[in-house]
Amino acid sequence: MAMLALAVWALAVCGAAGAGESGTDIDTSRYYNYEEMTELLRGLAEAHAAHARLFSIGRSVENRSLWVMEISAPSPASPPRPQLKLVGNMHGDETVSRQVLLYLAQYLVRGYGRDPRLGRLLNTTRIYLLPSLNPDGFERAVESDCSGSAAARRNARNKDLNRSFPDQYSALAVEEADVPEVVAMERWIKENKFLISANLHGGSVVASYPYDDSRNHESKGYYSKAPDDEVFKYLAKTYASKHPIMKMGKPGCADSPEETFPDGITNGAKWYDVPGGMQDYNYLYGQCFEITLELSCCKYPPASALNEEWKNNLESLLSFMEQVHIGVAGFVTDAVLGSGISDASIVVVGIDHNITTGSFGDFHRLLVPGIYNITTVAQGYMPSTVLNVEVLEGPATQLNVTLQSLDNHTNETVTPTMASSTEFKMHNVSEMEDVQQSNTIEPEDFRHHNYIDMEILLRKYAMEYPAITRSYSIGKSVEERNLYVMEISDNPGVHEMGEPEFKYIGNMHGNEVVGRELLLNLIEYLCSNYGTDPEVTSLVNNTRIHIMPSMNPDGYERSTEGDMDGVVGRNNSNNYDLNRNFPDQFFQIIDPRQPETLAMMDWLNRIPFVLSANLHGGSLVANYPYDDDPDGTGMYSRSPDDAVFYQLALSFAKENGPMFEGHPCKKIYPGEYFPQGITNGAKWYNVPGGMQDWNYLHTNCFEVTIELGCFKFPYASDLPKYWKQNKRSLLQFMKQVHRGVKGFIIDATNGKGIFNATITVAEVNHPVRSAKDGDYWRLLLPGVYKITTSARGYTPKTRSVMVVEEAVEVNFTLARVANNHDSGLDHASTESSADPSQEFEKLIKSLSSENGLQDLILSARVDLNLYRYHDYKDLSEALHGLHSNYPAITKLISLGQSVEVRHIWALEISDRPGIKEVAEPKIKFIAGVHGNAPVGTELLLAFAEFLCILFGKNQAVTKLIEETKIVIVPSVNPDGREIAQEGQCTSKVGQTNVHGKDLDTDFTGNSSEQLAEMQPETRDIVKNLILNQGFTLSVVLDGGSLLTTYPYDKPVQTVENEETLKYLANVYSNNHPKMHLGHPGCPNNTDESIPGGVVRGAQWHGHMHSMKDFSVAYGHCPEITVYTGCCKFPLAKELGTIWHDNQRSLLSMLVEVHKGLRGKVTDHDGKPIPRANIILNEGVRVPTSEAGYFHILLAPGPHDVDALAEGYQHQRKQVFVSPYEAATTLVMVVELDNKLFGLPRELVVTATGAALSAVIVTACIVWCVCSFKSSHQKDGFHRLRQHRDDYEDEIRMMSMGSKKSLLSNEFQDETESDEDTLHQ
């Protein structure tokens, strides 16, 4: 059969010489419109019904059929033939492809039976030709238009079909109703197992292959490599090499005459970035290898050029279609039943792209010539690997695989296997860098991360990559800092049967920081490149990776950048060296076991780690066990697995050039030399109580210690160098976990795994034990070993096993000892189309429902782990950390400085931070006005991180951020906060600023004199926040009770708009689980009752000049003050509960700011009216913005709205505000006022002109009379109106045409007395 197949292939190649003979009757002189194309295809199908079939996969926007011609000789259903498809005219104005495929259809169906080459092709292949995917666009295209037009390129809904498919890197907002052609194509691809495909275009002459775009969407020049890059290049070259113009690589197109493509091919993204393209979709979602073919420089050439284009492409088309038969093909069957196994995965080692078998168990995997190891995996079956499968040029290598069912599997097996898709072999550094550097995403932000910054970064990656990450803590340090671990795996949180566990530990010595930063870089690298880089993807898919950046976070906080060889920060907070604190085999460790040590020991006993590295600093060498010897003399202390450890250390060192040289710190230790960059620990110097020896002696884990550099705490500018030196080492060392022997220890009776079975290698005195599922891993070098497994209650079994470079799977089935009923150790395991604004309105309505916010919180769980307070330094670092990690949605600014020159930070959170968006509501959250009540500061920090983490992850939070400007000011009084003490519930220490001023009594007014007299903190808040921002709502967090107050804090008889202010306070209180009950229960007033938990400020603790009153009066912004608890400075352990209680309330404010009334004031021509006054219910006055916008929060119900603008007529409307709906939108159109003093303007002007002479004469007479008198009286200030009657009189004057403006301030004093109220 193989010889026959080769003969067939040879004939196929030779048959190309007569390719044109069957096509002489094809009319290539003209284009076919839709009706003509339909008629042609129907005629072909009818005339050649035996091997041609016409059908439609769907319809276009304008209801034209998307015709497909299937061409294949009659055949039985089984075995299926490989299928290919050719698609043309995706862009309606690129027409050569349409005609070429119509010619090809005629050529194939008419040539079958006459041309041996076509006979072989149709007898072995199912060919599908879709000449026009965009028939609507074609009908709008114009012949001889070489540049094309957007109207014809796109479909009838103005959508580019080749930018409308689901994309791996971008979430494209394309509605299905707009692209029925794409929907039909997606369905067709998923329902059929196409093997290869070509998408035919125009505009150049080149063969383009995946990927078409990249993660960063660089416009051009970035090679975005698919796992099957070699196969794609092979297919593209096949086509290009047969095309007389394409193969030259110089299309010579008029718009880019200098453009060149080596061999006539290009990676799509390298040419230019195409998100949403069809060829990538085929590969990622359909197991189909598609390339894109640009056939001609002119998109719609004159018909006279069609014959030449057909000749240029015919041989390329035939050669390309014949490639559907290359690679490996065969069947996967059940070993007992012999039936085909469908949906089995065919895994090619080294290529991170699997295919699955068809309904008959059939598969066909495209591969270029070479030698491959191929694994077959199916649910319910034991995996099987076939090594050294040779793929040759020509027809596919036949490979049939039989799988053993797990239900029938009772005998032990020895199967060479790699249940992954990458070979874990040693590679030369330069080779790997050549392959990897061009297409991996490298870390960019090289800096030192303090504890808070590290904490934020870990949470960020855990939220950004939830499918492959899990951040957790194994315990706490002496100072209660978490010992964080980032798990990276394709199934985080789960020990997968058969998958090894690996760990990296950094920063065990607090002042040795390179390992800490490298591990943070590694986390970023693994996350960013998963799914795109085969090496990373395979590591993550086949390894459970645990990364602990800092084992000694306390020591790090005391360390100093620039410390080369010091000891400050080396030890933990109890001043113990953690790497001398583990139990030792030779010496008794008398130091008390530290919490960090105990946490590590507990962690290792819970997880069956196989391999580990402990990253240090101070030298440059890979150090392996043992770390000490019985005599403490500094001699080579050999472990039973010395040869394995030697190779493990070498695998790291040989990838790091400076380390491998062996002369690490020439200036510090000029005589020190480590051959090949490695050393036995004890030979270097004795380390009793070290962690690497404890790993090996007390667990299954093999650990080495890596010294990363002579400089313990290098400057941040040097960090990129360390990453470059160690990246390959870090990756290569992880791969070593896949060496040796692995498998399962199985109970012969029930087929389940045996826990805690012992695996012993002859002549190596170091047994390992099986994990809970019976799986085990034993690192070994290549060779032949005698391996014995035993378990209590079972008969031991021994086998000879040959270990090769890759992992060898050896499964042992143990029989129970007769009459042994002791199974105590047998712990076997048990088994949209709406408008965006409408969508947002729906979101607000949904979140306003009874359980809306609670459902949001449940769907967006974020473990922020509030366990301590942030002093000013920590607060600043946390805010900078948020901005550094979320720069796209945050902007950090300083509003000013306190008396003691501490910054008053403000963090803006928005999808466009720092950019003014006048139509968006703006909300500010403020805390720390009183330094002795810092709970609000912690809540706002948590709230900020909560929002940042969920942006882009949670749809509701993302939309809220996109539609809102959020400003968070966590500490107005940082000086007071520094002297306040935790646990002091009623102390006033820290309540005031350094000058002893309660800042909430310092907001005296907005005149320049008053601002000058304010405290620096108050003045900066007023000038740079309240008066300069245009906020819609303000929420202030304080402490000392459990309630919410609304304006005013000063005693006033009436409060304008009180209904709205009280309503806002009630919204916060009602979303709090305790506050709304109205019983704060504070120790100093246990009987206090506050109905609904809401009270006007003056009725509770009234005082003058509060920030709340100032915000309402001068900032035109309603403000509420929330008192978060009776204790002003509770213990840190209570913060988690307080955050939980307030989370829903804080979110409710983000929802509420989108309600009320919003709109615009314009003139008759639509021109916005800036600084117009919107007057609500004849009381509250709010000015419009410079663009005429306004947004006013209102209590639910009806409201009268007046618009007043100087020179325009007064307008009044009534609106109804819903408590559940987004803001009511209102456009107030004001007309020019054409009356002066209540009379027509023309009459007044005429009368004024006529009387002018008389006025002048009279004025002269009056001057003469008055010259004898002296009058020095001056008018006083115009009295501010105090009553609504005054206001109504002015409204009546305006309606009568009074020229005097209600908005004029020329007679008003800037200042406000305690008795007068400008805005109530």
Q: Catalytic amino acids?
A: 294, 707
* Residue 546: closest CA among 475, 501, 487, 611: 487
Measure the CA angle with vertex 28, ends 25 and 34; round to 5°: 110
Query: CB of 707 within 8 A of CB of 679?
Result: no
Residue ranges in 194-350 assigned as alpha helix (H): 229-241, 268-271, 278-286, 306-322
Secondary structure letter of residue 194 according to DSSP: E
Reduced to 3 states, what is the DSSP secondary structure of residue 93?
coil
Half-sphere exposure of 1148 (CA within 13 A, CB side): 23
Largest CA distance in the chain: 138
Tokens 């419109």 belong to residue: 33
Secondary structure letter of residue 825 according to DSSP: T
Dihedral sign (CA 670, 673, 677, 678):
negative
- Asked if the bond preceding 244 is cis, omega within 30° of 0, the reply is no
Q: Tokens for 234?
A: 């092979």
Could you give the CA distance from residue 754 to residue 924 in angstroms, rounded to a whole number? 59
Residue-wise DSSP of 1161-1204? EE-TTS-B-TT-EEEETTTEEEE--TTSEEEE---SEEEEEEEE
Could you give the CA distance from residue 57 to residue 194 in angstroms, rounded to a whole number? 15
* Residue 53: closest CA among 76, 72, 33: 72
Query: CB of 759 within 8 A of CB of 769?
Result: yes
Sequence-distant (≥ 6) Cβ neighbours of residue 528 within 8 angstroms:
215, 441, 443
Q: Tokens for 419?
A: 């249940």
* Angle between helices 1241-1250 and 1252-1266 in degrees, nearest 10: 60
Rg, the chain, Cα only: 39
Tokens 């088309």 belong to residue: 317
Backbone dihedral angles phi then psi of residue 34, each to the nearest 5 degrees: -60, -45
Reduced to 3 states, what is the DSSP secondary structure of residue 593?
coil
Secondary structure letter of residue 162 according to DSSP: G
Could you give the CA distance from residue 1121 to residue 1103 in angstroms, rounded to a whole number? 14
Could you give the CA distance from residue 873 to residue 902 in angstroms, rounded to a whole number? 10
Sequence-distant (≥ 6) Cβ neighbours of residue 475 within 8 angstroms:
482, 483, 595, 596, 598, 599, 602, 603
Sheet holding 1173-1176, edge to edge: 1180-1183, 1173-1176, 1197-1204, 1211-1217
Could you give the CA distance from residue 93 to residue 203 in angstroms, rounded to a whole number? 10
Torsion from C-alpha of 749, 750, 755, 761, nearest 10 degrees: 50
Could you give the CA distance from residue 89 to residue 137 in angstroms, rounded to a whole number? 9
Secondary structure letter of residue 405 according to DSSP: B
Strand partners, 200: 293
Secondary structure letter of residue 594 according to DSSP: P
Q: List own/partner pairs for 1000-1005 with CB under 8 A and 24 or more apart.
A: 1000/929, 1000/930, 1000/1049, 1000/1103, 1000/1106, 1000/1107, 1001/1103, 1001/1104, 1001/1105, 1001/1106, 1002/1105, 1003/1105, 1003/1106, 1003/1107, 1003/1109, 1003/1110, 1004/1105, 1005/1114, 1005/1310, 1005/1311, 1005/1312
